[in-house]
């Protein structure tokens, strides 16, 4: 193995991991090569006595320990990792779980592989040749892991092309790649426990390497992989996939098409009865049902990271106003195309719908949510760093 770099920050997100801390620090200290400047940064969301155990164990640990207990667990485990990275000082950052399913002894090899290959991201993989996922509990978790990997690689074929295990929680990343992501408009906005996916997509590492490892048994405590975390992961996939304006437009359009279902259903109810409403007011009322449907999906999935920076009622009223304006604009525009351009009814209607849809998307994307995206970027975790303590004095 080649020599390790001058410094490394080991970021450990923790949630009620008191039973693992002493063993973890002992193995990290034994794994760090002599002469390496290192630190362990705990980003803690625990509700038990994990913080007290970390403080006690740090007193006798030869590697400097930084403890940050977060006042609110924003973003779940991924949010903890990002806050830990923001407090890390080294040129290499290693992310590892506290449950000892990730072997700390592999840390020097991850860094050495990055140094020799020039990679900006080195992932400990369960799926590359020589790796093993035996520590996953039962067939269900293995199925979920495999399915998540396939879906992620299908949605991001270019960003994840060099990775066999994008769901890994054990990896080393260069500070330069993290800083590049932090400089983007939206920065790092993790949700849930799959932080590597966030880093691989947003950091755009210039090269990627992998090191095989055997995923071990949990040392103590309980698994944090729950159905709720699974839902967070799905929402995170949608958020990452719609970070590009073209992808947002596609999803926006698909959601808009789905809005025809509640729209037409309510229109039928309002007009089908013997004493039903006239078509014109019924159309206006039914359009509100479609708009409400569209808003609920678009606000919850496409613009999830921006919605907390403005009152929901204001967003809804603005969205509804834009939607009703396009209802009014479609008919005159179609009539103009028929009269001035000599188009027949169907092509004129289709073209007017396409023009109005494009205008509505641009207004919603560039006006309704653009300012909110700016606020979200301003609220992103800053990359503020202090020098790494030198254990050699």
- Block means of pLDDT (10 residues each) for the chain, length 393 residues? 62 92 95 91 93 94 94 81 89 92 94 93 88 61 65 70 82 88 59 69 82 72 55 66 69 80 80 72 80 85 61 82 78 80 74 79 75 42 42 39
CB-CB contact of 125 with 163 (8 Å): yes
User: Of how many residues is the chain composed?
Assistant: 393
The third-level CATH classification (topology) of the domain covering 7-222 is Spore Coat Polysaccharide Biosynthesis Protein SpsA; Chain A (3.90.550)
Q: In this predicted structure, what is the pLDDT of residue 209?
A: 92
Residue 4 confidence (pLDDT): 42
Domain boundaries, the chain: 7-222, 245-377
Distances (CA, A) of 231 to 81, 143, 148, 228, 236: 19, 16, 12, 5, 9
What pLDDT is attached to residue 314? 80
Residue-level pLDDT at 345: 67
Q: Which pTM was predicted?
A: 0.62
Q: Is 7 left (phi over 0), alpha (psi -120 to 50) or beta?
A: beta
Give, in degrees to the nearest 5, the angle at Cα 191 between 127 and 133. Answer: 20
In tens, the pLDDT along 141-197 reads 566 666 766 776 667 777 777 788 887 889 999 988 888 766 654 556 655 456 787
What is the structure's pLDDT at 356?
78
CA 66 to mean position of chain CA atoms: 25
- The beta strands (E) that lie in the chain are given as 7-14, 37-44, 65-69, 92-95, 121-125, 171-174, 208-212
> What angle in degrees, to the nearest 10, is found between the helix axes of 227-241 and 138-155?
10
d(CA 348, CA 336): 9
CA distances from 185 to 144, 250, 361, 373, 378 (A): 32, 21, 20, 8, 9
pLDDT for the residue numbered 393: 40
Angle at Cα 228 formed by Cα 222 and Cα 229, nearest 5°? 70
Which DSSP string do the residues of 85-130 spell out, in sequence order? HHH--SSEEEE--SSSSS-GGGHHHHHHHHHHH--SEEEEESSSTT
The confidence score (pLDDT) of residue 235 equals 67
Q: What confidence score (pLDDT) does residue 259 get?
A: 79
CA distances from 51 to 17, 42, 109 (A): 9, 9, 29
């Amino acid at each position: 193995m080649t020599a390790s770099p001058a410094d490394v920050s080991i970021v450990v997100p923790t949630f009620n991991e008191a039973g693992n801390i002493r063993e973890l620090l002992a193995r990290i200290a034994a794994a760090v090569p002599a002469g390496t400047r290192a630190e362990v940064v705990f980003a803690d969301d625990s509700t038990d006595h994990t913080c007290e155990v970390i403080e006690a164990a740090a007193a006798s640990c030869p590697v400097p320990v930084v403890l940050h207990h977060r006042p609110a667990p924003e973003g779940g485990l991924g949010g903890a990792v990002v806050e830990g990275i923001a407090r890390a000082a080294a040129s290499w950052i290693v992310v590892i779980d506290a449950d000892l399913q990730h072997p700390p002894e592999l840390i020097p090899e991850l860094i050495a592989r990055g140094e020799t290959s020039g990679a900006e991201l080195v992932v400990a993989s369960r799926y590359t040749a020589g790796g093993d996922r035996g520590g996953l509990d039962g067939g269900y978790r293995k199925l979920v892991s495999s399915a998540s990997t396939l879906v992620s690689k299908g949605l991001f074929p270019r960003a994840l092309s060099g990775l066999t295990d994008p769901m890994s929680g054990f990896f080393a990343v260069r500070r330069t790649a993290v800083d590049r992501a932090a400089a983007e408009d939206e920065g790092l906005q993790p949700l849930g426990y799959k932080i590597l996916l966030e880093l691989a997509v947003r950091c755009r590492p210039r090269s990627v390497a992998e090191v095989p490892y055997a995923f071990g048994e949990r040392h103590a405590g309980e698994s944090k992989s729950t159905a709720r975390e699974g839902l967070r992961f799905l929402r995170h996939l949608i958020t990452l996939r719609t970070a590009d304006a073209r992808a947002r437009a596609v999803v926006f359009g698909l959601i808009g098409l789905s809005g025809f279902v509640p729209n037409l259903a309510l229109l039928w109810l309002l007009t089908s009865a013997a004493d039903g409403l006239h078509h014109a007011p019924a159309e206006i009322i039914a359009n509100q049902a479609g708009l409400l449907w569209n808003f609920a999906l678009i606000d919850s999935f496409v613009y999830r990271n921006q919605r907390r920076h403005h009152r929901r009622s204001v967003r809804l009223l603005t969205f509804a106003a834009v939607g009703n304006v396009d209802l009014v604009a479609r008919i005159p525009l179609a009539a103009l195309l028929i009269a001035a351009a000599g188009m027949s009814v169907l092509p004129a209607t289709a073209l007017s719908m396409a023009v109005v849809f494009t205008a509505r998307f641009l207004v919603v994307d560039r006006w309704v949510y653009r300012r909110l995206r700016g606020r979200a970027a301003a609220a992103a975790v800053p990359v503020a760093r202090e020098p790494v303590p030198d254990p050699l004095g």
